[in-house]
Amino acid sequence: MSDKSVFDSSDSVRHAKPLPYAQHVTFDGPFHLECGRHLPSVTVAHETYGTLSPARDNAVLLCHAISGDSHVARHDAEDDPGWWDIAVGPGKPIDTDRYFVICPNILGGCRGTTGPVSVNPATGGAYGPDFPLVTIGDIVKLQRQLVKHLGIERLLAVVGGSLGGQMAMTWATRYPDELAGCAAIATSPRLTSQALAFDVVGRNAILHDPDYDAGRYYDHGPGPKVGLAIARMLGHITYLSRESMMRKFDANRFTPRDIATQFETKFSIGSYLAYQGDRFGERFDANSYITLSMAMDLFDLGATPEELAESLRPSTCRWLVISYTSDWLFPPFQSQQIVDALVAEDKAVSYCNVQSSCGHDAFLLPNELASYGTLIAGFLANLNEASKLPPVQRLAGAAASDASAPVSPLPREHAAHRPTSIFHDPQRLDYDSIVELIPPGASVLDLGCGSGELLSQLRQRDHARLVGIELDESAVVACVQRGLDVLQADLNEGLSLFADGEFDVVALSQTLQTIIDVRRVIQEMLRVGRQAIVSFPNLGYHKLRRQLAEEGRAPLVSLGGGSRWYDTWNVRFLTIADFDEFCRDEGIRIHDRVFLDTEARRRVTDDPNLNADLAILVLSR
């Protein structure tokens, strides 16, 4: 192993601007690849930011996407911004004042790390088409060699989007003891056939460009500029969403930018694509593009949920999975497959499907940084702290539940569970009762967890596993900031991601009455949990009965949010007697009951269907 760079980028990377801050490490001796071949030596170009802590426990590895490189962010005010400058730097989500950030160019790339443009010692010329088939596993193996070379035994986190997300997942599963957290962004267990199809067409365009010359174009001619440009145009279409393209090009579709290009420029989208295609040909190598797109296409964590779960089983780190609603290249359902499999394997995972109209590119753009940047920052901040949290003795209804949360108090708009509670105390009365009903040490799934108030309260005690489900994006972000495991999901779509009996307790606090398909949700709760705890407003409460019987008005069930018949979040109205009958009909046992008169702030034992406005029930099959 040597630090001297044997890789002379100036003569083999064509046209590519040198990266002034890149450092090069060369590992001599054979580097064995999964395809059975080996490289006699490998060089890794990489850049670092921030300072490695004395304990060497603050290193974050960033994995770039197909056209990226080691220059993730600027090193100083004069430096060029990098490909993720918005997310990496002092005070930014990946805070280089706090973390030691490493970003290597990946194996098979063309910006300093060994790839098809590198010199093949056997011939003295570029590898070109003789460069062996490289997998994501090979790429990660080389990253790991670099990390070890830098003196780091365990990374705080590996973070990557798209192709980089495939690397992050590979880290988590191949080297589980060597990272505390894995952030897999806008990625998938394997490409959809649609995404694969675009890559196939792109490669066909390159390979059939006569200037490709069977890949041996380095010593003569321009190389397959047309084919590479066409592949890049195609790629660009898939990185944007239909909506973002419309925003960008629809208003002036017939007024293309006047650029010098050999490609069609009749439409503005055409001149944009031509420009992107031409520029890509100047900075990227076609063999490298083929190598990396093939590595991406061959990546495969499994075709079935079972295979995917098996692939992810070895991982021990915490996970953050982020998708973007308008990403159709790595569509959200694929991130959800990853999350489902992680959940099936009892891994600690948070998931957010960030609302965005920017398509796959969203993870590189500033538009939704407030969400995904805050998620990443919150995830990283809690990776070490979470494990350091002292186990607190059981404190039913502790008043200062937030005090031990690792991050600063939440902004006001995150503090309330939606639908809004009528309880004005920061501490909800029913949370206290629910906490008391949950056996110590039990694993708990909190449905509609909001910003994590109940889970934060439970965290004071010694619980096996605490997971929240929440639909609202900002509440999900708030949970991640608190260091909680939260999954963004719509309860109306069921709990299919959880196995039978996966939790001791599944809680649904004042949310039942806002769900259309109550029966299915209760069935799911009792499938997933050994016990279910449900709280709901009682329509049988005497004041409500009086409103209808005497005043002829729809009862105003203010519990659960909304104040009038036409704007309440509630869509289901039931009495305690109705729920009792429902349980009888469904064969559900009621183990325990707490009835509250929340106005009077007291428990009710006498005729609760008349005297209680809130019911809390513990159910099982």
Q: Which residues sit opposite 101 in a β-bridge?
A: 49, 60
User: Which one, 275 or 431, has the nearer CB to its own copies?
Assistant: 275
DSSP assignment letter at 430: H
- Cβ at position 293, least distance to its own copies in Å: 11
Q: Which of 117, 120, 144, 121 lies closest to 46, judged by CA?
A: 144
Which residue's CB is nearer to its own copies, number 164 or number 270? Answer: 270
- Judged by beta carbon, residue 246 or residue 407, the one nearer its own copies is 246
Q: Which of residues 533-552 bind its own copies (CB under 8 A)?
A: 539-540, 544-546, 548-549, 551-552
- The sign of the torsion formed by the CA atoms of 354, 359, 363, 369 equals negative
- Tell me, what DSSP letter sits at residue 253? T
In whole angstroms, how far apart are CA 393 and each of 396, 402, 404, 461, 466?
10, 15, 13, 6, 16
The answer to whether 360 is a known catalytic residue is yes
Residue 35 within binding range of its own copies, rule CB under 8 A = no
Binding to its own copies (CB under 8 A) within 78-107 occurs at none
Among 216, 572, 593, 621, binds its own copies (CB under 8 A): 572
Binding mask 256-285 for its own copies (x = CB under 8 A): ------xxx-xx-xx--xx-----------
* Type and span of the H or E element at 617: strand 614-620
Joined tokens for residue 482: 């608190």
- Return the residues of window 47-66 that contact its own copies according to CB under 8 A: none
In sequence order, the 6+-apart residues with CB closer than 8 A to the CB of 475 are: 414, 417, 418, 449, 450, 451, 452
Q: What is the DSSP string of 542-578?
A: HHHHHHHHTT-------TTS-SSTTT-S------HHH
Output 80 or 607, the one with its CB closest to its own copies: 607
| Min CB(445)–its own copies separation in Å | 21
Query: Given 209, 327, 340, 430, which residue is catalytic?
Result: 327
**Taking CB under 8 A as the criterion, which residues in 219-258 touch its own copies?**
226, 229-230, 233-234, 237, 240, 242, 245-246, 248-251, 253
Of 230 and 339, the one with the shorter C-beta distance to its own copies is: 230
In the bound complex, what is the minimum distance in angstroms from residue 531's beta carbon to its own copies? 20
Beta strand 466-470 with 444-447 is: parallel
Residue with Cβ nearer its own copies (264 or 592): 264
Task: Specify the residue, 500 or 567, whose C-beta has the smaller distance to its own copies.
Answer: 567
CB atoms within 10 A of CB 370: 13
Q: How many CA atoms lie within 13 A of 323 on its CB side?
A: 23
Q: For its own copies, which is the closer residue by CB, 84 or 249?
A: 249
Phi, psi of 450 (to 5 degrees): 55, -140
User: Measured between alpha carbons, how far is 231 from 316 in angstroms, rounded to an integer?
Assistant: 38
Compare residues 197 and 370 and give the one whose CB is closer to its own copies. 197
Helices 332-344 and 305-312 pack at an angle, to 10 degrees, of 60
Q: How far apart are CB 291 and its own copies at their closest, in Å?
A: 14
- Annotate 371-424 with DSSP letters as a single string: HHHHHHHHHHHHHHHHHHSPPPPP-TT-TTGGGG-SSPPPPHHHHSPSSPPS--
Nearer to its own copies, 231 or 369 (CB): 231
79 is catalytic: no
Catalytic residue of the set 162, 271, 323, 456: 162
Which stretch in 65-73, 113-121, 434-442, 567-575 sits in contact with its own copies by CB under 8 A? 567-575
Tell me the two tokens of residue 384: 């070490």
Candidate ranges 145-153, 446-454, 464-472, 559-567; the one touching its own copies (CB under 8 A): 559-567
The reply on whether position 297 binds its own copies by CB under 8 A is yes
Strand partners, 619: 532, 590
Q: Which of 48, 511, 575, 598 binds its own copies (CB under 8 A)?
A: 575
Active-site annotation holder among 24, 46, 71, 360: 360
User: Binding string to its own copies for residues 325 to 354, with x set by CB under 8 A, is what?
Assistant: ---x--x-----------------------
Residue closest to 417 by CA, chosen among 348, 466, 377, 476: 476
CA max distance for the chain: 96
Tokens of 162: 């798209």
E strand residue ranges, 149-264: 155-161, 179-185
- Which residues 581-620 are close enough to bind its own copies by CB under 8 A? 582, 609-610
What part of residues 183-222 is at the interface with its own copies (CB under 8 A)?
192-194, 196-198, 200-201, 203-205, 207-210
> Which residue type occupies 144?
R
Q: 458 to 517, contacts with its own copies by CB under 8 A?
A: 516
- If one counts every other C-beta atom within 10 angstroms of the C-beta of residue 194, the result is 11
Compute the distance between CA of residue 491 and CA of residue 441 in angstroms, rounded to an integer: 25
The verdict on 394 binding its own copies (CB under 8 A) reads no
Comparing CB distances to its own copies, the nearer of 423 and 573 is 573
Assess whether 236 carries a catalytic annotation. Answer: no
Q: How far is the CB of 540 from its own copies (least distance, A)?
A: 4
For tokens 């010593």, the residue is 219
* Count of CA atoms in the C-beta half-sphere (13 A) of 219: 8
Shortest Cβ 497–its own copies spacing (Å)? 19
Name which of residues 507 to 536 contact its own copies (CB under 8 A): 516, 518-519
CB atoms near residue 497 (< 10 Å): 21
Nearest distance in Å: CB 490, its own copies: 15
Which residue type, as a one-letter code, is found at position 15? Answer: H
Question: Smallest gap, in angstroms, from Cβ of residue 163 to its own copies?
Answer: 17
x-or-dash pattern for its own copies, window 299-318, by CB under 8 A? ----x---------------
The Cα 83–Cα 66 span in angstroms is 12
Size of site (CB under 8 A) for its own copies = 74
Residues with active-site annotation: 162, 327, 360
